Chains A and B, each alone.
Chain A
Amino acid sequence: MRIKHWLAFFSVLFVATLTFVAAKGPTNIPMKAPPAPSRPAVVKAPPEPANDDCLACHGDPDAKSDTGRRIGVDPAKFTESVHGALDLKCVDCHADLKKTTDFPHPSKLAKVNCAGCHQEKVAEYDRSIHAAARRQSAGSVAATCVDCHGTHDIRQKTDPKSLTYPLNLPATCGRCHGDPDVIKQGHIQIGNVSDLYKDSIHGKAVSKSGLMVAANCTSCHGSHDIRKKSDPDSRVFRRNIPNVCGSCHEGIKAQYDNGVHGIANGRGNDKAPVCADCHTAHQIQRADVASWRLDTIRECGTCHADKITTYRDTFHGQVTSLGFVRVAACSDCHGAHDIHGKADPRSTVAPGNIVSTCRKCHPTAGENFAKYDPHADKHDKARNPVLFYAAGFMKWLLLGVFGVFGLHAVLWLPRGFRERRGQAKHS
């Protein structure tokens, strides 16, 4: 025991010396050098409790307190953790035990303050929705540092065993955001977002393909400073969404910024669609999935109500309404991310481009074919005069025929009954 003590003392001294020597050079430790390890070299008495002092009681992972609370720490897990690798002492975090000499110590300890070392990250956290929820109600179950990072087993996010490793992160967030009790207590409006994400293209890329570059929760929401989507500073605030998506989908972002919707969004028009309006936030699908394509037509129609009405009157609109996508949907003619007004020569439906747009599906279409009106309106006399009169004629023809013959049948019916009774009597 004493030899180990001395070994620990010297190793701490060694690290402390190294830290002082390397202070001017670049450090490969991504966080502030912990201030505590240097202290034993300076402060003489009383000596701080060493890890082994703590582990004497806490070293059994199944250890329990008088009240039955689990108080065990797995020494192996701690050694493997990022803090273990830095040879942090238990009392560096459990700082209120620094001067304790009398063991066992009182069971009620102060909460560990991560800000002692991670000041910046904790400051970010303090601005987050999680911190706000905790400030708002004492009993809040909103996440703190340990909920995402763990406690004695914290690992760097680049470590595949870390809770915050990109491929593990959705499950980590899902521990709360997939838990019905937490969702209820926290009044989380979106509900079980974990399940939604799991089935999305991003979720599958993480869980099935193991793609490190696939978007996980933090890619869009940030990590420590997650904010409400209604907060203009939130990464997922409506107007900021294209930037968030664009951080991976750069090429699409460039197209979007050039199109009418991107320009309108840039000007602060909140009616302009952003990525999530069509693609959704957590249920993003491949763009060739039929159900998604059909939903997108409806989405366009929420603003372009008159256009979807006239579209539904055409064969294209009828077939998509039946649930099939082999025919033209909005984006097939208008484009998706870089939609331009009809008057803009870049537009796919500009007079100069319309034939080639039709040819995407009708390869031999010509100028004459392109005079078809994919949004013909039978009520619009100025736009579609012949259609207007044809529709009027058909309406009156139907009303006339059914009116005359309907009346004819109504008059015939009672006479027919009388006739039948007569026949029966006759025979």
Chain B
Amino acid sequence: MSTPYVRRFDSFDRVLHGFLMLSFLGLAATGLPLIFSDQPWARRMTGILGSFEVAGWLHRVCATMLITVFAVHLSRLGRRLIFQRDFGLLWGPRSMVPQPRDLTDAVGHVKWFLGLGARPRFDRYTYWEKFDYWAVFWGMGIIGASGLLLWFPVFFANVVPGWFFNIALLVHGEEALLAVGFIFTMHFFNGHLRPEKFPMDRVIFTGRVSLEELEEERPSEYARLKASGGLAALQVPPPERWLVRLGTVIGTTAVSIGLLLVGFILYAVLT
């Protein structure tokens, strides 16, 4: 008996997330050695790549990739907003925009942690997923902008005074540390490593979630789709075995690299 599945992420967003992962890991691996340049592991990592020039080149290649991902995402949002008049993006249960409900959900969730109440009935995007999204969104803006400033300092010095680069380097590094630290611990925990999901949630690779899981985890969305009759339109066959396996391989690799880098950071910070 096959379980019925529903689509959660379309293939475009999944591929985009794939590029996001690839470029983010690349940026982290080539950028962290600079922040922790006094660490032996930083020297070894740069040594493996050949030289800091190679690392810098890869960093810029990944940066270009990530900026492209960001631009494509923004243009997709723009298209949905302007051409498809999909204003549900801006407010409501299908929106990423933080809403009062997220605050009550968060409080309710913590109460549930402590056994003081029932689990909140989440909709399509939970408050921690929204935080993930906006953290990355903000990070891309700040890290991207400061990174471009540092990439072309002589050009930007026509517009901003030289001490801006001092700020840019500090912000670029600290913000990167925040992004890397957050994604490789909190995002991994919330999305994959917490007991309910362990070892991982493959939804970002398959794009599909079983109806049962949807009803359990996002009862509000389930109820909403059921009431509007949209559930039938989203029904898809279960993910192919190869796709699940591919997701396992990619996910395990990414989580391993991420946790290794977190280990390096912790070693550097604690010693």
Residues of A within 8 A of B (CB): 312-315, 317-319, 321-324, 326, 362, 364-366, 368-373, 376, 378, 384, 386-387, 390-391, 394-395, 397-398, 401-402, 405-406, 408-409, 411-417, 419-420, 423
Q: Which of B33, B35, B182, B189 contacts A401 (CB 8 A)?
A: B182
Task: Give the most central of A314, A415, A417, A423: most B CB within 10 Å.
Answer: A415
A372 to B154, CA, bound (A): 11
Contact call A390/B170, Cβ cutoff below 8 A: yes
> Can you name 5 A-B pairs with beta carbons within 8 Å?
A319-B34, A322-B37, A397-B174, A420-B196, A420-B198
Closest CB in chain B relative to A158 CB, distance in Å: 49
Closest CB in chain A relative to B26 CB, distance in Å: 18
Q: Which of A318, A319, A323, A368 contacts B162 (CB 8 A)?
A: A368
The verdict on B254 contacting chain A, using a C-beta distance below 8 Å, is no
B contact residues, total (Cβ < 8 Å): 49
Contact call B170/A412, Cβ cutoff below 8 A: no
A16 to B175, CA, bound (A): 92
- Given A315-B169, A322-B52, decide whether A419 and B43 contact each other with a Cβ distance below 8 A: no
The verdict on B171 contacting chain A, using a C-beta distance below 8 Å, is yes
Q: Which residues of B contact A411 (CB under 8 A)?
A: 110, 113-114
Q: Which residues of B contact A415 (CB under 8 A)?
A: 112-113, 115
Q: Which residues of B contact A322 (CB under 8 A)?
A: 33-34, 37, 42-43, 46, 52
Contact call B42/A390, Cβ cutoff below 8 A: no
Closest 6 CB pairs of A and B: A372-B162, A371-B162, A416-B195, A369-B157, A321-B37, A394-B174
What mask results when residues 108 to 136 of chain B are scored 1 for a CB within 8 Å of chain A, else 0?
Answer: 00101111000000000000100100010
Q: Which residues between 182 and 224 of chain B lie within 8 Å of chain A, taking CB atoms?
A: 182, 185-186, 189-190, 194-196, 198
Q: Which residues of A contact B112 (CB under 8 A)?
A: 415
A416 to B193, CA, bound (A): 10
Contact call B194/A413, Cβ cutoff below 8 A: yes
Q: Which of B35, B46, B115, B163 contacts A371 (CB 8 A)?
A: B163
- Given A318-B37, A401-B182, A411-B114, decide whether A372 and B166 contact each other with a Cβ distance below 8 A: yes
Contact call B169/A390, Cβ cutoff below 8 A: no
A419 to B150, CA, bound (A): 47
Contact call A318/B34, Cβ cutoff below 8 A: yes
Contact call B171/A390, Cβ cutoff below 8 A: yes
Residues of B within 8 A of A (CB): 33-35, 37-38, 42-43, 46-47, 51-53, 110, 112-115, 128, 131, 135, 150, 153-154, 157-158, 160-163, 165-167, 169-171, 174-175, 177-178, 181-182, 185-186, 189-190, 194-196, 198
Closest CB in chain B relative to A136 CB, distance in Å: 45
Q: Which of B33, B157, B182, B195 contacts A405 (CB 8 A)?
A: B182
Closest CB in chain A relative to B148 CB, distance in Å: 15
Closest residue on chain A to residue B158 by CB atoms: A368
Q: Which residues of B contact A370 (CB under 8 A)?
A: 162
Task: Give the most central of B47, B153, B162, B169: most A CB within 10 Å.
Answer: B162
- Dominant SS among interface residues on chain B: helix
- Given A312-B38, A368-B161, decide whether A405 and B166 contact each other with a Cβ distance below 8 A: no
- Dominant SS among interface residues on chain A: helix
Closest CB in chain B relative to A409 CB, distance in Å: 5
A326-B52, A401-B178 given; 13 more Cβ-contact pairs under 8 Å? A312-B37, A318-B35, A321-B38, A323-B43, A324-B46, A366-B154, A373-B162, A387-B170, A390-B167, A390-B170, A390-B171, A412-B194, A416-B194
A391 to B42, CA, bound (A): 23
A419 to B153, CA, bound (A): 52
Contact call B170/A394, Cβ cutoff below 8 A: yes
Q: Which residues of A contact B35 (CB under 8 A)?
A: 318
Closest residue on chain A to residue B166 by CB atoms: A376
- Given A322-B34, A369-B154, A409-B190, decide whether A376 and B163 contact each other with a Cβ distance below 8 A: yes
A369 to B168, CA, bound (A): 13
Task: Give the most central of A318, A370, A391: most B CB within 10 Å.
Answer: A318
Closest CB in chain A relative to B24 CB, distance in Å: 17
Closest CB in chain A relative to B91 CB, distance in Å: 25
Q: Which residues of A contact B33 (CB under 8 A)?
A: 322
Contact call A362/B170, Cβ cutoff below 8 A: no
A302 to B153, CA, bound (A): 31
Q: Which of A406, A408, A416 contacts B110 (CB 8 A)?
A: A408
Q: Which of A371, A406, A419 contacts B195 (CB 8 A)?
A: A419
Contact call A378/B43, Cβ cutoff below 8 A: no
Q: Which residues of A contact B115 (CB under 8 A)?
A: 415
Closest CB in chain B relative to A32 CB, distance in Å: 62
- Given A322-B52, A372-B163, A391-B170, decide whether A413 and B46 contact each other with a Cβ distance below 8 A: no
- Given A371-B161, A397-B178, decide whether A387 and B167 contact each other with a Cβ distance below 8 A: yes
Q: Which residues of B contact A376 (CB under 8 A)?
A: 163, 166
A412 to B169, CA, bound (A): 35
Closest residue on chain B to residue A385 by CB atoms: B163
A313 to B115, CA, bound (A): 47
Closest CB in chain B relative to A412 CB, distance in Å: 6
Contact call A366/B37, Cβ cutoff below 8 A: no
Closest residue on chain B to residue A411 by CB atoms: B113
Contact call B194/A384, Cβ cutoff below 8 A: no
A315 to B31, CA, bound (A): 11
Contact call A384/B182, Cβ cutoff below 8 A: no
Closest residue on chain B to residue A378 by CB atoms: B170
